[in-house]
Structure formats: C-alpha cells, structure tokens
Amino acid sequence: MTDETFDRRIGHLLHECAPQVLGAVARRHGDFAAAEDAVQEALLAASTQWPVAGIPDNPRGWLYQVALRKMADHVRTEVARRQREDAVATEASLDHFVVPADADIGIEEDDTLLLLFMCCHPVLSGASAIALTLRAVGGLTTAEIANAFLVPEATMAQRISRAKQAVGASKVPFNMPTRAERTERLGLVLHVLYLIFNEGYASSAGTSLHRIDLSDEAIRLTREVHRLVPGEPEVSGLLALMLLTDARRPARTGENGELIPLDEQNRELWNREEIAEGLALIGAASSGESAGPYRLQAAIAAVHDEAAKAQDTDWRQILSLYTELDRLSDNPMVKLNRAIAVGMVSGPAAALSLLDDLAEDARLKGHYRLDAVRAHFFEMSGDRERAVEHYRSAAERTTSIPEHDYLTRKAASVAKSARGQRPP
C-alpha cells in the first residue's frame, strides 16, 4: 500500500468514525460544544499518530478513549475555574475512569443517526440546525456549508458558533428525541441528508468531482431514516432521488477524473440496480396527496434515467415537474433548473430571458452556475462570442477544479469554432 493510499484510508476512517464518536461523547456528557472540541482534538491526534504507529485494531474505540480524556481535561478546567466544592470528588471520579483502547463502550451502531436528530435541536432556527448538523454529521467545512446556503463563509462561521452557544445555553436535554420530536424534526433531518449527498455527488471545491464517502454516508443514513419511518413518502422520495442520481456517477468522469456532462455520458455505465430500486421507491411512495419536493426531484431524476439516449429525454415532463417544484419553494437553484427545462422545450431565447431575471436575485449574483447555463444557451443560439465570455466567467468563479477544467475546455472549443466560421 502506497503512502498516499494509506493516508486516504486514514482520512476515510476518520470521516466515518467522527460523527459516531461525537454522538456517543455528546450523549454521555450532554455538552455538544465541548464534545465537538474533544472529538476534533482526538481526530488531530489520530491524524498525526496513525501514519507513524499504524491504524489501531479498533479506530472508533481509540478515538472514543482519546475524546473522553479530552472531555475529562475540559471538565477539570471548568471545575478549577469555578472552584466548586465538589472539585476533588469530580476529579477523583475522572482519574479512575479508564477506557480500554479496543473498546467501543458507549458507541452504538446508530449513534450517527442519533446525532443527526439531536443536532436538529428545538432551540435553533431551521437554518442554524442544518448548518450545525452538516458540520457535526457530514464533516463539511464552513466554506462548503456556506456554499450550500449561498452565503459568505464568515456569515456561516458566525451562524455555527451561535448555534453551538444556543444549544449549550439551553435547558433542553441533548439526547435522542421522542417519537413525536423525531416527527417534528424530520424535515430538517431530510434537508441535511440532501445537502450532504449533494456535496458528495458534486463536490463544491477541490480536485475531485465526487466525495464518495459523503454521498455513500448520506445514502446509508437515509436508508436508516427510511427504516425508522417507513411510511413517510418524502423519506422514500429522498432515498429514491439519491439512488437515481448516484446511479449516474460511474459515467460522470473520464479516465483522468474529467467531468462528463449528462448529455455526453455513456448510459450503459449507469448503475441499473440503483435505478430499479429508485423507481420502485417512487412507485411505493405514490399516493393521492400532492408530491413534496423530494418526490418531485426524484421524478425528475427518473425521467432522465429512463431515457435511453439524451435526445429521448422528455423535457416537457421535466418542465412540468420543475414548475410544480418552483411553486412549492422559493429556491433560486430550482428556478435556474426550470429555466434550463424551458430552454430545452421552447428554445434558448426563452431560457435567456428567464436567466436575465434570475441575474437580479442576490442569492445567485456572481454564482458560477448562472454563467455556465447562460453560456450553454448562448452557444445553442449561435452567439459564440457571448458563450465564450460566460464559459470563462463561470470557470473563474467555480472552486471545483474538474468543473473549472471542463468550463475552460468548453470556452476554448467554442472559441475555436467561432474562429473557424469567420470569413477570411
């Protein structure tokens, strides 16, 4: 095993174990902020020690033990600072608490799921709960979370900090919610899983288009939620959406990791088992009631997956579904995708008119995807110079290297085509 492969294995293990250990430590001590700090210190210790000493037989037990020791240090510091009368007794109990390195004491199989529901805390606003959970469960960086919310990184850092402070200051126990509380928090939980999957399927930054660890974990946790509430149509819809989207992953990149757009993918590489499972979930979730946002998005994914060739795609059906989805939410990305569907049905001029309106939306202003879509429709309309301009602008703004490279190649290809058509 090469050093690079070994380092990747360590990184994958730390990402997988972190929420499980955090859930166990937070459940034991009831102090989320301190537990997160302790787990981060344990992860840092592992990242420096494991490459030298080797990966322990039980990585979770190792991290749990170190995190508990860090929590003990935290408690001792707090006790000393407050100079409580029971300081001696507290410290004595901590000194005698020993966890074997190969033990999984306190860590349950569903601790990540438990942490997911716990982070959607009732004292937090929906946006703050989602941001906190993306950090704790998804392991996303502040920059990645800010990108998902279309806000500056500094704004998101403040939001996460305030969320941790609010949880710590509240008197609401930080533990597994009741069945009624789980039902109340389900919408936030599903949104968190949706965002984790999106970051895994199309990473917003870095050298790789995918973060398979994130998308796989999002699918795993959504399956667990589906088992927890099997009759909830939107849970089925979200799981179907993930499977129908993830099914295309084998065809999304070339041999060198380069991005391959949907209309150019080799559809024979798509995962037919995931597609079949996703379609079955959609069928089982169908009912007389109006479909929610995840079922609608799953239906859109199904239309794409059922088309044998890109030109067979039923764009009129997709437009109808996006119109209904847009009616349910004020989401700029939904509006952007609806504009794409309009362009595929009614032509590039209709799409470009909608995109002009979207350019005034502060949430999309300066976003690379708006430029990328504009470039596509300018290219379709034959305005190659403006297409090149917007492809280049999109390439400059994206933080994903595969997307930057793809958009740069598109700009060069369209520019070359434009030069070839000029009269001598």
The Cα–Cα gap between 349 and 339 comes to 11
The Cα–Cα gap between 242 and 194 comes to 8
Q: How many domains does the chain have?
A: 2
Residue 418 lies in a domain: yes
Residue 196 lies in a domain: no
In tens digits, what is the pLDDT along the chain, a chain of 424 residues?
Answer: 555 666 667 777 777 778 778 877 877 776 777 887 888 888 888 888 888 888 888 888 888 888 888 877 766 665 555 554 444 444 444 343 334 444 444 445 556 777 788 777 777 887 888 888 887 777 778 888 888 777 888 988 888 888 878 877 776 666 667 778 888 889 988 998 998 899 889 888 778 888 888 898 889 889 989 988 888 999 999 999 999 999 999 999 998 889 999 999 999 999 999 999 999 999 887 765 678 999 999 999 999 999 999 999 999 999 999 999 999 988 999 999 999 999 999 999 999 999 999 998 888 888 999 999 999 999 999 999 999 999 999 999 998 999 999 999 999 999 988 776 654 4
Query: What's the pLDDT score for residue 44?
Result: 83
Residue 192 lies in a domain: no
Query: What's the pLDDT score for residue 34?
Result: 80
What does the CA dihedral 107, 109, 110, 115 come to, rounded to 10 degrees?
30
Q: Mark which of 95, 116, 139 sits at the end of a domain.
A: 95
Q: Mark which of 95, 123, 148 sits at the end of a domain.
A: 95
pTM for this model (two decimals) = 0.78
CA distances from 37 to 32, 246, 253 (A): 9, 33, 37
The phi-psi region of residue 289 (left if phi > 0; otherwise alpha if psi is between -120 and 50; otherwise beta) is beta
Q: What is the domain extent for residue 33? A: 4-95
The phi-psi region of residue 106 (left if phi > 0; otherwise alpha if psi is between -120 and 50; otherwise beta) is left
Residue-wise burial string across 211-226, b where 16 or more C-beta atoms lie within 10 A, e elsewhere: bebbbebbbebbeebb
| Per-residue tokens: 226 | 């589906």
Residue 179 lies in a domain: no
Residue 401 lies in a domain: yes
Residue 286 lies in a domain: no
Residue 90 lies in a domain: yes
Q: Mark which of 66, 95, 124 sits at the end of a domain.
A: 95
Residue 389 lies in a domain: yes
The Cα–Cα gap between 260 and 207 comes to 15
